[in-house]
Amino acid sequence: MMLVIFLSGVFSLGLAAPWAFCYRERWVARHTYIEGRQLHFVGKSFDLWLFLLKWTLFSVLTLGLYSFVVPIRFQQWRIKNTYVYGYWDEYYATE
């Protein structure tokens, strides 16, 4: 898996990096269980690509100051798109 991700990044000159990241996150989610429940990653590579484009533009406009915020925004996007199967069903059933 890591070889495919590496080769896709090299041959596409980094343009496939969002796809590679989403591919890896889906694999990690499929193999991760929390309290017996499987994680599910729903992020789309095109959405991440647009966010990266926006973050790069903001970094250029602010002369690099926004680049300190980008890792935080990246983690927020990753966590926002990761869910635990069955968690929301139980939460809404108790209300």
Is 52 within 8 Å of 80 (Cβ atoms)? Answer: no
pLDDT of residue 91: 52
What distance in Å separates the CA atoms of residue 78 and residue 27, rounded to the nearest whole number?
A: 13
Give the other-Cβ count within 10 Å of 29's Cβ: 20
pLDDT 10s digit of each residue in the chain, 95 long?
A: 888 888 888 888 888 989 999 999 999 999 999 888 899 999 999 999 999 999 999 999 999 999 999 999 999 999 999 998 876 655 554 44
pLDDT of residue 53: 94
Is 28 within 8 Å of 41 (Cβ atoms)? Answer: yes
What does the DSSP assignment read for 1-30?
Answer: -HHHHHHHHHHTTTTTHHHHHHHHHHHHHH
pLDDT of residue 35: 86
pLDDT of residue 90: 55
